[in-house]
């Protein structure tokens, strides 16, 4: 293929199959190291606490179809992801941060490897830069070092895409890639419910539609629809066995009707388009203008092409791949905007496409838009370590100004970011070829981004949302003077789960949310209540002429606020 004007020729020649396999394995291993480093002793916080509790319940009570909390099945997810955590925790006999996140870290590393393998068939330069842009995608990096079902779904999606692309390259048609895709879809459903089939199949359909392979759209779409129906009714059948008709209704509400509509706090249709500019930086803001440029460049192929001439042999390989990535991104972006329930992590299956589109500007600068995107991105990546140094100083100032006691290894991070910046500037020497220079700059930026996440964001989040010291103090009081635990105004699926994950052994608290319920309890007991609810309770008792509660036995920081613990030997009058 002749290299068009303004297209950067790949400085890496096409690799042999053996070398490409070794490079793919290396990408996976480096990714696994980046996503699992330093997790062993970390505390569970945020969304991951729920799945840690699921896994501990499974480790204590055995395998079940649905995960469990407080001994009851949980309707929002099938138990496949919990089963993976259970398997990684079996050898230790306990669930810790490393064993809980290992399945997600492996899936994320495979995501990087599959993306590299896919794009290296077109350009190794493109593949390397796309991997760097995945690491430079904020939500991807955060979720890769957490318990994330959507990260697993992202890997299933890119694996289905790789199988479709591989089948296109076969001389003779084979049913094996289709069978492989269906197996992946079953696993996707087991991990993420209906979304685990709908999102990968949507991406596959966009692939075949943009390739004018309409027969393949039905060839994958119809079996996938039948598979979705079969898996759904099988799940409902198992839910009926697990928890009866009431639980079946909860499963339908949590996994289908509750996501599609009926929420009072429904987010606007353009939520992903606007919100993702920050959540999925750097890839997403760069991918949007590249998508426009790629689709504009692809119009002649669609406008003047028949089914045959629109095939893979008629396209410029890089442009065709970029067009398929644009279809992948737009389908997920538009499709997920339809349901009323929207969360940033739902967009993770689009990250490989985002990263590939952002990196495409580095291998093709035809047209002013792509050239401008390339120049802006290259400049941004070049100065990113310095920008992150500025962020470190800002974070320290912000913590001092707001009285936050956050301890981070600032000197270590500062020195590491300075080294990354020096490495990036070194690549500007004339002896470096343009392609090699871009790789050094992108790699240094990705390393700086990872270091900032591990050495600044994670420690700050862990300390700000820490619950372990509070729970340990309360449980020590209960060991010295045993009594039941009562949680006032704590959501069963929120703060109570955070408390639960920090308790060794069984956890059977009582939940109340009204002052009148205090008279219905058995005493003595420990009452855990937030400062805000405690003030409201005191005001209500004062208005009724009742005495105030006795002095708190303990007060401390729990999750994201101050909480008090009262030891009550008898009902307050």
For residue 321, pLDDT over 90 is answered with: yes
CB 231 within 8 A of CB 118: no
CA distance 95 to 501: 10
For residue 334, name the pLDDT band (cuts at 50, 70, 90): very high
Higher-confidence position of 231 and 507:
231
Please compute the mean of the pLDDT values over residues 211-222 and round it to a whole number: 90
End-to-end CA distance of the chain: 87
CA distance 185 to 195: 10
CB 212 within 8 A of CB 337: no
ω into 97 cis (within 30 of 0): no
Please compute the mean of the pLDDT values over residues 536-551 and round it to a whole number: 79
CA distance 299 to 184: 33
| pLDDT score of 441 | 96
Average pLDDT over the chain, rounded to an integer: 88
For residue 494, pLDDT over 90 is answered with: no
| pLDDT score of 12 | 57
Q: Distances from the Cα of 253 to the Cαs of 68, 88, 137, 233, 492, in angstroms? A: 17, 31, 32, 15, 18
Please compute the mean of the pLDDT values over residues 173-185 and round it to a whole number: 77
- Write out the H or E segment, with its range, that includes residue 73: strand 72-73
| pLDDT score of 261 | 67
Q: How many CB atoms lie within 10 A of CB 506?
A: 11
| pLDDT score of 4 | 42
CA distance 295 to 89: 47
CB 377 within 8 A of CB 286: yes
For residue 315, pLDDT over 80 is answered with: no
CA distance 133 to 283: 6
DSSP at 570: S
pLDDT tens digits for 114-130? 999 999 989 999 999 99
Q: Return the closest-CA partner of residue 528 out of 457, 456, 473.
A: 473
CA distance 92 to 438: 43
For residue 383, pLDDT over 80 is answered with: yes
Burial class (CB within 10 angstroms; exposed 0-12, middle 13-18, buried 19+) of 378:
middle
| pLDDT score of 273 | 86
For residue 19, pLDDT over 70 is answered with: yes
For residue 505, pLDDT over 80 is answered with: no
Q: Return the closest-CA partner of residue 297 out of 320, 264, 269.
A: 320
Please compute the mean of the pLDDT values over residues 227-242 and round it to a whole number: 94
Lowest mean pLDDT segment, chosen from 35-44, 303-312, 518-527: 303-312
CA distance 321 to 306: 19
| pLDDT score of 133 | 98
| pLDDT score of 258 | 75
CB 179 within 8 A of CB 209: no
For residue 29, pLDDT over 90 is answered with: yes
The structure tokens listed for 493 are 């699926």
Angle at 203 between CA 365 and CA 443, to 5 degrees: 45
| pLDDT score of 15 | 63
pLDDT tens digits for 252-311? 988 888 777 655 456 787 888 888 889 999 999 999 999 999 999 988 877 765 544 444
Please compute the mean of the pLDDT values over residues 358-367 and round it to a whole number: 93
């Amino acid at each position: 293929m002749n290299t068009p004007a303004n297209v950067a020729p790949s400085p890496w020649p096409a690799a042999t199959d053996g070398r490409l396999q070794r490079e793919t394995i290396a990408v996976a291993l480096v990714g696994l190291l980046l996503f699992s480093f330093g997790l062993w002793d970390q505390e569970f916080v945020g969304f991951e606490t729920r799945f840690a509790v699921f896994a501990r319940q499974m480790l204590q009570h055995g395998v079940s179809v649905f995960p469990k909390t407080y001994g009851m099945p949980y309707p929002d997810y099938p138990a496949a992801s919990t089963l993976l955590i259970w398997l990684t925790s079996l050898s230790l006999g306990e669930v810790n941060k490393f064993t809980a996140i290992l399945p997600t870290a492996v899936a994320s590393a495979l995501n990087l490897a599959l993306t590299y393998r896919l794009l290296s068939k077109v350009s190794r330069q493109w593949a390397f830069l796309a991997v760097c842009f995945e690491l430079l995608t904020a939500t991807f990096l955060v979720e890769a070092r957490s318990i994330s079902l959507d990260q697993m779904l992202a890997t299933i999606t890119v694996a289905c895409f790789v199988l479709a692309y591989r089948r296109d390259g076969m001389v003779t048609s084979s049913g094996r890639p289709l069978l492989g895709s269906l197996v992946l879809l079953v696993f996707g459903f087991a991990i993420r419910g209906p979304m685990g089939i709908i999102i990968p199949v949507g991406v596959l359909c966009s692939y075949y539609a943009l390739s004018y392979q309409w027969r393949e759209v039905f060839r994958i779409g119809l079996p996938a629809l039948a598979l979705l129906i079969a898996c759904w009714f099988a799940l409902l059948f198992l839910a009926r066995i697990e928890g009866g008709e009431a639980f079946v209704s909860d499963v339908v509400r949590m996994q289908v009707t509750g996501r599609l509509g009926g929420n009072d706090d429904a987010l606007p249709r353009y939520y992903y388009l606007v919100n993702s500019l920050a959540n999925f930086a750097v890839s997403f803001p760069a991918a949007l203008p590249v998508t426009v440029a790629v689709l504009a460049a692809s119009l002649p192929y669609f406008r003047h092409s028949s089914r045959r001439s629109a095939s893979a042999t008629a396209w410029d390989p890089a442009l065709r791949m970029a067009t398929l990535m644009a279809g992948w991104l737009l389908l997920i972006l538009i499709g997920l905007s339809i349901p009323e329930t929207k969360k940033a992590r739902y967009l993770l299956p689009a990250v490989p496409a985002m990263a590939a589109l952002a990196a495409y500007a580095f291998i093709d600068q035809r047209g002013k838009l792509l050239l401008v995107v390339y120049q802006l991105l290259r400049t941004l990546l070049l100065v990113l370590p310095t920008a992150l140094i500025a962020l470190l100083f800002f974070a320290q100032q912000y913590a001092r100004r707001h009285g936050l006691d956050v301890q981070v290894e600032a000197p270590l991070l500062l020195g590491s970011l300075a080294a990354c910046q020096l490495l990036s500037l070194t690549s500007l020497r004339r002896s470096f070829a343009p392609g090699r220079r871009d790789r050094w700059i992108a790699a240094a930026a990705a390393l700086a981004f990872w270091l900032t996440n591990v050495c600044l964001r994670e420690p700050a989040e862990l300390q700000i949302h820490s619950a372990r010291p509070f729970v340990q103090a309360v449980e020590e009081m209960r060991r010295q003077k045993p009594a039941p635990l009562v949680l006032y105004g704590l959501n069963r699926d929120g703060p109570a789960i955070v408390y639960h994950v920090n308790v060794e052994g069984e956890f059977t608290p009582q939940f109340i949310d009204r002052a009148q319920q205090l008279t219905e309890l058995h005493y003595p007991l420990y009452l855990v209540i937030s400062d805000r609810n405690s003030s409201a309770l005191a005001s209500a008792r004062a208005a009724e002429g009742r005495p105030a509660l006795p002095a708190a036995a303990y007060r401390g920081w729990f999750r994201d606020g101050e909480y008090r613990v009262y030891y009550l030997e008898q009902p307050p009058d």
